């Protein structure tokens, strides 16, 4: 069999919903014709979602502190303990931001922060409990395995105890943060103090066993090989076979500003789109695939809708972590819906569990709230922008 025949066979099997191996996924990633790859991935999307709906979410990423002891080399957000630009937000400030988010129609908050040396399980119990008490309608989709390991270490409790306690306090699901690259070599190169990829997945397994579902992410473009990118997918799929707890896979591209990895090559748009398509074909056991318009730009985000993607993520009423490293793409509700519609898909607002809340079958059904706009870079403001109302930064100070 020639390589071309082999690729055709793999694409056909994957498009029909069959399982492909990691070696086959690597062959597709590196050798498959771009158009055929996208067609096969889109066939999977159409079979999974024959109603042609692409979803989006309204949420706010709220950071409780930028103080962190883990010093990942790719991270532009953190400040070491005692750094003069380090800040922590009191609960009142976090609740104020939650209140603004609710006012603008957000259904979810993503509470993210550094590994503060004093923040154990008790801190997170109090934080999640306070948010739930004030805004019971907000879904807390937050933190990741790294934070869980850190808080368990600070409080000297087991991972399981930490998971059970923060779930009881109000955590609804776990964000896939901190996955970066899971294979050992690239992970050590960019985050030497972070837990191993295996440990990251073990914590996810514990959470999934306790009914805390999650998403899984991947940051591509910090010098990893093609084989390591596919290995990252394989590690996630193996866990998913056991737990079924990953709701979605969300790859995004490394942003190169203001960190210690300057000079490394970012993933190209083509590499990103190929990875998206291969992920749709490889993850026959993961329901949803999300495009990251924040890091790749809106054009690539819309192209991803033709490569198997069924979700365009969030407006992000506030985002500081990735935008600190250079992501400058902004959007608003009308534009995000327009991206979906002009890709010949039907837009629908979803909740954290991917349940459709409102399907906009015609433009007449589109929401009209012009205040729902992404806002970035409160990290650049003294004290993390405490007390500032949305927009934290004027629209004119960030480019498209
Ligand atoms: S990525 Fe997270 S853990 Fe790593 S330095 Fe940044 S805030 Fe800390």
- Enumerate the domain spans of the chain: 3-388
Statement: residue 224 has pLDDT above 90: yes
Residue 65 carries which DSSP code? B
**Per-residue tokens: 257:** 């500003």
Q: Tell me how crowded residue 47 is: count the other CB atoms within 10 A of its CB.
A: 11
pLDDT at 278: 98
Statement: residue 31 has pLDDT above 70: yes
pTM of the model: 0.93
pLDDT band at 222; cut points 50, 70, 90: very high
Q: Which residue has the tokens 């109603």?
A: 51
Q: Which residue has the higher pLDDT, 325 or 368?
A: 368
Q: Tell me how crowded residue 18 is: count the other CB atoms within 10 A of its CB.
A: 11
pLDDT digits (tens, 9 = 90+) for 242-253: 999 999 999 999
pLDDT at 172: 98
Cβ of residue 77 lying under 6 Å from some atom of ligand 1: yes
Cβ of residue 72 lying under 6 Å from some atom of ligand 1: yes
Integer Rg of the chain from CA: 20
Report whether 98 belongs to an annotated binding site. no
Query: Contact 339/366 with Cβ under 8 angstroms?
Result: no
pLDDT band at 264; cut points 50, 70, 90: low
Statement: residue 324 has pLDDT above 90: no
Distance CA 164, CA 160 (A): 6
Find the range with the poorest average confidence among 82-86, 187-191, 347-351, 388-392. 388-392
Task: Give the Å distance between the CA of 161 and the centre of ligand 1.
Answer: 23
% of the chain residues with pLDDT over 90: 77
Q: Which residue has the higher pLDDT, 73 or 315?
A: 73
pLDDT at 383: 80
H helices present in 49-90, as ranges = none
Cβ of residue 149 lying under 6 Å from some atom of ligand 1: no
pLDDT digits (tens, 9 = 90+) for 44-57: 999 999 999 999 99
Q: Give the CA-trace dihedral at 375, 112, 334, 42, to 10 degrees.
A: 140
Q: Measured at the alpha carbon of residue 227, what is the angle toward residues 183 and 260, in degrees to the nearest 5?
A: 55
pLDDT at 76: 85
Cα–Cα distances (Å) from 252 to 84, 100, 202, 229, in that order, read 30, 27, 22, 12
Q: Whose CA is nearest to atom 7 of ligand 1?
A: 114
pLDDT digits (tens, 9 = 90+) for 356-374: 999 999 999 988 888 888 8
Query: Contact 382/80 with Cβ under 8 angstroms?
Result: no
First to last CA, the chain: 48
65-73 mean pLDDT: 94
Cβ of residue 70 lying under 6 Å from some atom of ligand 1: yes
Query: Contact 37/277 with Cβ under 8 angstroms?
Result: yes
Q: Measured at the alpha carbon of residue 385, what is the angle toward residues 381 and 389, in degrees to the nearest 5?
A: 130
73-77 mean pLDDT: 88
Distance CA 37, CA 31 (A): 10
Query: Contact 113/299 with Cβ under 8 angstroms?
Result: no
| CATH superfamily, region 3-388 | Aldolase class I (3.20.20.70)
Distance CA 129, CA 136 (A): 10
Query: Contact 66/185 with Cβ under 8 angstroms?
Result: no
pLDDT digits (tens, 9 = 90+) for 273-310: 999 999 999 999 999 999 988 888 889 999 999 999 99
Q: Tell me how crowded residue 230 is: count the other CB atoms within 10 A of its CB.
A: 25
Query: Contact 166/155 with Cβ under 8 angstroms?
Result: no
Q: Whose CA is nearest to atom 2 of ligand 1?
A: 114
Q: Please tell me whether residue 384 adopts helix, strand or coil conformation.
A: helix
Helical axes 226-243 vs 22-31, angle rounded to 10°: 140
Distance CA 252, CA 272 (A): 8
Cβ of residue 146 lying under 6 Å from some atom of ligand 1: yes
Q: Where are the beta strands (DSSP E) in the chain?
A: 53-57, 59-63, 108-112, 139-142, 173-174, 214-220, 246-253, 288-289, 311-314, 346-350, 356-359
Q: What is the DSSP string of 235-281?
A: HHHHHHHHH--EEEEEEEE---SSSS-TTPPPPPHHHHHHHHHHHHH
% of the chain residues with pLDDT over 70: 96
Ligand 1 probe mutation, 72, 175, 193, 323, most atoms within 8 A of CB: 72
Ligand 1 probe mutation, 114, 150, 222, 259, most atoms within 8 A of CB: 114
Cβ of residue 360 lying under 6 Å from some atom of ligand 1: no
Average pLDDT score, the chain? 92
Q: Please tell me whether residue 171 adopts helix, strand or coil conformation.
A: coil
Query: Contact 40/63 with Cβ under 8 angstroms?
Result: no
User: 400: number of CA atoms within 13 Å, CB side?
Assistant: 3
Cβ of residue 80 lying under 6 Å from some atom of ligand 1: no
Statement: residue 395 has pLDDT above 70: no
Alpha-carbon 383 to chain mean position? 25
Task: Give the Å distance between the CA of 124 and the centre of ligand 1.
Answer: 17
Task: Give the Å distance between the CA of 86 and the centre of ligand 1.
Answer: 13
pLDDT at 397: 47
Q: Which residue has the higher pLDDT, 335 or 127?
A: 127
């Amino acid at each position: 069999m020639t390589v071309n025949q082999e690729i055709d066979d793999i694409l056909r099997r994957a498009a029909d919903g069959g399982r492909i191996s990691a070696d086959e996924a690597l062959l597709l990633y590196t050798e498959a014709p771009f158009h055929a790859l996208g067609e096969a991935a889109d066939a999977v999307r159409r079979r999974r979602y024959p109603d042609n709906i692409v979803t989006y979410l309204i949420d706010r990423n709220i950071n409780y502190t930028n103080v962190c002891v883990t010093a990942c080399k790719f991270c532009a957000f953190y400040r070491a303990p005692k750094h003069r630009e380090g800040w922590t937000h009191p609960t009142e400030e976090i609740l104020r931001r939650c209140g603004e988010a609710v006012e603008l129609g957000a259904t979810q908050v993503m509470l993210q922060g550094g590994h503060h040396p004093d923040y154990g399980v008790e801190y997170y119990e109090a934080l999640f409990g306070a948010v739930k008490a004030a805004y019971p309608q907000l879904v807390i989709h937050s933190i990741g395995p790294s934070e869980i390991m850190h808080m368990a270490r600070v409080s000297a409790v087991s991972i399981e105890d930490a998971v059970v306690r923060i779930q009881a306090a109000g955590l609804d699901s776990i964000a896939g943060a901190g996955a970066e690259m899971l294979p050992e070599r690239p992970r050590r190169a960019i985050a030497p103090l972070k837990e191993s990829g295996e440990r990251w997945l073990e914590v996810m397994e514990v959470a999934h066993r306790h009914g805390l579902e999650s998403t899984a992410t991947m940051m591509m473009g910090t010098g990893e090989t093609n084989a390591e990118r596919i290995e990252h997918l394989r590690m996630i799929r193996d866990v998913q076979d056991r737990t079924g707890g990953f709701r979605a896979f969300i790859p995004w591209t490394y942003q190169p500003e203001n960190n210690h990895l300057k000079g490394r090559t970012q993933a190209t748009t083509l590499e990103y789109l190929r990875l998206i398509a291969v992920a749709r074909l490889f993850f026959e056991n993961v329901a949803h695939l999300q495009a990251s318009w924040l890091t790749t730009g809106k054009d690539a985000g819309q192209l991803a809708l033709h490569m198997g993607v069924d979700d365009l993520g969030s407006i992000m009423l506030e985002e500081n972590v990735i935008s600190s490293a250079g992501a400058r793409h902004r959007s608003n509700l009308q534009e995000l819906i327009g991206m979906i519609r002009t890709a010949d898909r039907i837009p629908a607002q979803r909740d954290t569990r991917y349940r459709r809340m409102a399907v906009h079958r015609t433009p007449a059904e589109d929401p009209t709230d012009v205040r729902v706009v992404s806002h970035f870079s409160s990290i650049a403001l003294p004290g993390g922008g405490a007390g500032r109302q949305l927009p934290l930064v004027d629209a004119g100070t960030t480019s498209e």
